[in-house]
Amino acid sequence: MFRRILCLAVMAASPAFAQWQPSAELGAVSTSGNSDTTSINGRLGLKAEDALWTHEYHLAALRAEQSDELTASRYETAAKLARKFGERTYLGAAARYEDDDFAAYDYQATMAVNYGGWLVREEGRSFQLEGGPGARRARLAETGDVEESALLRGFADYQHRLTDSTQFFNTLLVEATGDNTFVQNDIGLAVSINRSLALKAAYQARRNSDVPDGTRRTDTLTSVNIVWSPKAK
């Protein structure tokens, strides 16, 4: 159900194709010797903004193997749509679905309505906050039990251009329910190589508050990726 809603959100109120700003990033590591290790992570994104609407969609994936044994397998898709009221505030909706073969939950799906705005939005620096109520559905990996509950969602995004070629970013997502609180923080630097390519170093921490015994609450990912994002003409 949530994946169908994501597809409908992509088609709804979409601006002209020429306005979309695509992005793609990829990172991979392969080692051999006493142990063979391979890991790959990637992300595809689309963004658009006009006088009234903002649109954001992304698909992210992570896969890792060690000595031919799968050690990580996760993908996530998300969509955000917002109607702006003036230059600083907006009202919108967000949906997210993730599937993880090595987490406390087989999948988590959330939807929420959001009221938000930019506390700072100026050349080279921005700080965005949003929050609102929604719903969550998730299946526990250990028991197969399905949780359905009301949700409070919060999101913060800080961007700061340190130099002409270096960008600092820090994003925080919180999805809180009576069953579980999910928190994800991404922090890092992106350094431009040319007009369309950048090198991004990032650290991601993901935490679920309610997990079975023997399962860690926090997962982390340190990555160095090549990012492709053509500048708008």
Mean local confidence (pLDDT), 125-142? 95
pLDDT tens readout for residues 154-173: 999 999 999 999 999 999 99
Task: Evaluate whether 184 touches 103 at the Cβ level (below 8 Å).
Answer: no
Return the pLDDT at 73: 93
104 Cβ contact list (under 8 Å, min separation 6): 140, 141, 142, 208, 210, 211, 212, 215
E strand residue ranges, 141-216: 146-161, 166-176, 181-192, 197-208
Query: Which tops the pLDDT comparison, 222 or 32?
Result: 222
Residue scoring higher pLDDT (10 or 231):
231
How large is the average pLDDT for residues 92-108?
93
Looking at residue 200, its amino acid is K
* pLDDT computed for residue 6 by the predictor: 47
Euclidean distance between CA atoms 88 and 120, whole angstroms: 9
Instruction: Compute φ and ψ for 193, nearest 5 degrees.
Output: -95, -45
CA-closest candidate to residue 182, choices 138, 142, 221: 138
Q: Quick one: which of 137, 163, 182 has its CA closest to 3?
A: 137
Q: Retrieve residue 14's tokens.
A: 């979409």
Q: Among residues of the chain, what percentage have pLDDT more than 90?
A: 69
CA distances (Å), origin 199, targets 137, 187, 190 = 36, 14, 6
pLDDT at 84 over 70: yes
Q: Could you give the domains of the chain?
A: 2-228 (2.40.160.40)
Averaged pLDDT for residues 118-125: 94
- In this predicted structure, the answer to whether residue 11 has a pLDDT above a threshold of 60 is no
Average pLDDT over residues 11-35: 72
Please determine, for residue 15, whether its predicted confidence score (pLDDT) is greater than 70. Answer: no
The overall average pLDDT reported for the chain is 89
pLDDT of 24 above 60: yes
pLDDT at 53 over 60: yes
Kindly report the number of other CB atoms within 10 A of residue 67's CB atom: 10
Q: What tokens appear for 206 in the block? A: 């993901």
H or E, element range at 6: helix 2-11
Return the higher-pLDDT residue of 140 and 162.
162
pLDDT band of residue 29 (cuts 50, 70, 90) is: confident
> Is the pLDDT confidence value at 12 over 90?
no
- State the pLDDT confidence band at 51, using cuts at 50, 70 and 90: confident
Torsion of CA 172, 178, 179, 180, to 10 degrees: 10
- Report the pLDDT value the prediction gives residue 17, as an integer from 0 to 100: 46
CB 165 within 8 A of CB 191: yes
Higher pLDDT, 33 or 212: 212
Percentage of residues of the chain with pLDDT beyond 70: 89
